[in-house]
Amino acid sequence: MRRARTIDWVPHAVLLIGIAIIAFPVYVTVVASTLTTPEIVYGPMSLLPGPHGPENYVQALSEGNAKTSGVGVGRMLLNTLVVALAIAVGKIAISIISAYAVVFFNFPGRMAFFWLIFLTLMLPVEVRIVPTYAVVAGLGLVDTYAGLAVPLIASATATLLFRQFFLTIPDEMVEAAKVDGAGPMRFFKDVVLPLSRTNIAALFVILFIYGWNQYLWPLLVTNDAEMTTIVIGIRRMLGNGDAQTEWSIVMATTVLALLPPVAIVILMQRWFVKGLVETEK
Amino acid sequence: MADVRLRNVRKSYGDTEVIHGVDCEIADGEFVVVVGPSGCGKSTLLRMVAGLEEITKGEIAIGGRVVNDIEPKDRDIAMVFQNYALYPHMSVFDNMAYGLKIRGVPRSEIEARVEKAANILQLKPLLERKPRQLSGGQRQRVAMGRAIVRDPQVFLFDEPLSNLDAKLRVQMRVEIKRLQQDLGTTSIYVTHDQVEAMTLADRLVVMNAGVAEQVGPPIEVYERPETVFVAGFIGSPAMNFLPAIATENGLSVGEARFRAAQRLEPGRNVTVGVRPEHLELDPASPTLRVRAELVEALGADTIVHGTLAGAPLLARLPGTQRVVAGDEVPLRCAPEHLHVFDGATGKRI
Ligand SMILES: Nc1ncnc2c1ncn2[C@@H]1O[C@H](COP(=O)(O)OP(=O)(O)OP(=O)(O)O)[C@@H](O)[C@H]1O
Ligand SMILES: [Mg+2]
């Protein structure tokens, strides 16, 4: 492929430029997290890492900064991790089961239920935030993990995706399993779940990041500083004009906040890339 | 092993009835082929035997036990599907073993049974593969293996060969027949391919629009079709049908006169059926003359297309006969090869 070689560099150049545009701010953040605040704020900031990384990270992790009431980023990361995992696992569990019911069982009002689930698509948390808050507060769930996660679990997006996928499982396979003697539970465990692996992995990544990035709802439902999530923590660290923002700590926190989602993507990628390559069914 | 009995079996979807009362007794160890055109209800009938479709009316019994209200898994049947329906994420071994595993058969026995089936079907080297790593024919074998290991009372096949290419189909057809003879398991096999039907069946059920038009051994169905439909469906090229009027001493089709094997009241409107292979060239005393409009020389045979009394007429002559389009071809048909059907009802007279 001689001709291809001569123009090979064009797509490469485009990709490199794209990567540079996306990567540069991340790089600046990482560098800034190794400098002191004055070094960042006054004069042109160095583009090479400085020696203050370790102390910035230790401070961020253990005590945050003046505006986080002494709650360290470690605690915030833990809070966010629990909530994001609960949301991802909860949503997948609920939606895969409801999609299974809607696709493989014939019961009265099946379509009505499906449309009810579908309707929740139009009601994201932001829309129903006031009544939802009233319910959560009434149940005494303010400042709890349950209060943070449960209202975000209830939604239909994943149900819809699983339903679309289940509809592509051939009827004959369902019938073969019936003849083989697999009841609904066996069929779910032995056939549906393994075939949904790829979908589950992809959804897990999307939902984990969705949970990780929640802002409005955690802002409303947590008052206790101990229950702060990472996104809110970063927001709090930024000054309101009355005090100077400790940029080095903010930058270290930002880098820490990036790590878990990145780890999840890397961990899960093996699964869904595999799934995309081997088309099963 | 078991016999299967269908008694006045009917199926309706909502208000439309698609199976209009089928009766059939299948003996223990018998290989019955259900054949018919697309949409006639073959699959529906088979699926009712399998328990995948509810029986609207009538009764199905397997081994003397009425199974109308019994779940597929408890009917002791195994089914081979048209699209194989293998589990894509399981190895060949697991595909075959799954049914046994669910039934709680001990591991050692599962292994022994799968190995035996794999030997019969030459799947031994493929046991670790996933279905997507197999060819169509191999997948078909795995699907058969899955049925065999269960050692069921009845095998059900729904067009198992229709996704294979012509050559493989012939090969698998022979294998299925041999396998069934060795195992001696009662089998019901659905197909729309009449060659498969003729070669595999101990007995044929020819279906048309939800009715079993004729049940009998393949040769009997070929030699004595009960209705115009059966006569036209079994045999290739299809039987010629000519409008005829009964006369004092035979049948008249346009200009042509046939001697008939039986006496009919003169003036009666009938349909005469003649198979293309039963028309012979006879220059000396022809019963009919046809102008050859089209000649297909196939080597072994020569198919001559013509028209008689406004109806198309095909004759299948030995390949040694040289016929050219445009020729006037003198033909003869022995009276015993004439099939006479009532002109209105299409039933054999
Ligand atoms: N779920 C259903 N609802 C309504 N009608 C149905 C349903 N399933 C099948 N039918 C009708 O029942 C008739 C028989 O269908 P069936 O699948 O048994 O045909 P078949 O003989 O197997 O045809 P083919 O050779 O194409 O597989 C058809 O006319 C079909 O339209
Ligand atoms: Mg069918």
Using one digit for the tens of pLDDT, what is the confidence trace for A118-141?
888 888 778 888 999 999 999 999
Q: What is the pLDDT of residue A67?
A: 66
Q: Whose CA is nearest to atom 7 of ligand 1?
A: B13
Check whether A245 has a pLDDT greater than 90: no
**Chain B nearest-CA residue for A281:** B88
Q: Quick one: how many helices (H) and strands (E) in chain B?
A: 8, 21
Atom of ligand 1 nearest to the CA of B37: 25
Percent of chain A with pLDDT over 90: 43
**Alpha carbon separation from B117 to A49, B56, B146, B268 (Å, rounded):** 67, 36, 8, 59
Mean pLDDT of chain B: 91
Averaged pLDDT, A17-35: 91
Whether the per-residue pLDDT at A280 is higher than 50: the answer is no
Cβ of A179 within 8 Å of Cβ of B50? The answer is: yes
Between B52, B87, B99, which is nearest A175 by CB?
B52
Amino acid at A82: V
Q: Which residue CA neighbors atom 25 of ligand 1 most closely?
A: B38
User: Which has the minimum average pLDDT: A81-95, B215-229, B325-339?
Assistant: B325-339
The Å distance, Cα B44 to ligand 1 centre, comes to 6
CATH topology for the A33-277 domain? MetI-like fold (1.10.3720)
Interface residue ranges in chain A relative to chain B, Cβ cutoff 8 Å: 170, 172-173, 175-182, 186, 190-191, 194-195, 278-281
The whole-number pLDDT of residue A5 equals 61
Of B73, B88, B98, the CB nearest to A178: B73
Task: Give the pLDDT of residue A2.
Answer: 52
> Of B13, B163, B206, which is best to mutate to test ligand 1, by the most ligand atoms within 8 angstroms of its C-beta?
B13
Q: Are A68 and A243 in contact (CB under 8 A)?
A: no
| Ligand nearest to C-alpha B15 | 1
Look up tokens 């209705």; give the residue.
B227
In whole angstroms, what is the distance from residue A210 CA to residue A90 CA? 13
Contact B307, B290 (CB under 8 A): yes
Question: Exposed, middle or buried by CB within 10 Å (0-12, 13-18, 19+), for A187?
Answer: buried
pLDDT confidence bin for A1, thresholds 50/70/90: very low
- ipTM (interface predicted TM): 0.83
| Residue A170 with chain B: CB contacts under 8 Å | 83, 85
Q: Which residues, numbered 137 to 196 in chain B, qualify as contacts with chain A under a Cβ-Cβ cut-off of 8 Å? A: 146, 150
Q: Which residues of B touch A278 (CB under 8 A)?
A: 132
The tokens describing B92, both together, are: 């060949």
DSSP states of B260-319 = -SS---TT-EEEEEE-GGGEEE-SSS-SEEEE-SEEEE-SSEEEEEEEETTEEEEEEEET
DSSP letters, chain A, are -HHHHHTTHHHHHHHHHHHHHHHHHHHHHHHHTTS-HHHHHSSSPPSS--S-HHHHHHHHHHH--GGGTT--HHHHHHHHHHHHHHHHHHHHHHHHHHHHHHHH---TTHHHHHHHHHHGGG--TTTTHHHHHHHHHHTT-TTSHHHHHHHHH--SHHHHHHHHHHHTS-HHHHHHHHHHT--HHHHIIIIIHHHTHHHHHHHHHHHHHHHHT--HHHHHH--SGGG--HHHHHHHHS--SSS---HHHHHHHHHHHHHHHHHHHHHHHHHHHHHHHS---
Helix (H, G, I), strand (E, B) or coil at B177: helix
Q: What's the pTM value of the predicted model, to 2 decimals?
A: 0.82
Residues A243 and A50 sit within 8 Å (Cβ to Cβ): no
| A241 or A56, higher pLDDT | A56
Q: Do B85 and A279 touch (CB under 8 A)?
A: no
Between A60 and B204, name the one with better pLDDT. Answer: B204
CB-CB neighbours of B208 under 10 Å: 17
pLDDT in tens, A153-169: 877 778 888 999 999 99
Looking at chain A, which residue has its C-alpha nearest residue B103? A181
Ligand 1 environment, Cβ below 6 A: B 13, 18, 36, 38-44, 192
Segment A172-201 shows an average pLDDT of 92
Select from A171, A173, A179, A281 the residue whose CB has the most chain B CBs within 10 Å, as the one to mutate to test that interface.
A179
Are A136 and A145 spatial neighbours (Cβ–Cβ below 8 Å)?
no
- Round to whole Å and give the CA distance between B154 and B46: 11
Per-residue model confidence (pLDDT) at position A61: 84
Nearest CA owner, ligand 1 atom 29 = B39
What is the mean pLDDT of the segment spanning B31-53? 93
Largest CA distance in chain A: 76
Ligand 2 centroid to A104 CA: how many Å?
21
pLDDT, one tens digit per residue, over B88-103 is 999 999 999 999 999 9
Confidence band of B70 (pLDDT split at 50, 70, 90)? very high
HSE on the CB side for B125, CA within 13 Å? 4
Q: Write the pLDDT tens digit of every residue in B218-257.
A: 999 999 999 999 999 998 899 999 999 888 878 888 878 8
Give me ligand 2 centre to Cα B192, in Å. 9
User: Does the pLDDT of residue A68 top 70, yes or no?
Assistant: no
- Extract the tokens encoding B286: 């022809």
Q: Say yes or no to pLDDT of B120 above 90.
A: no
pLDDT at position A3: 56
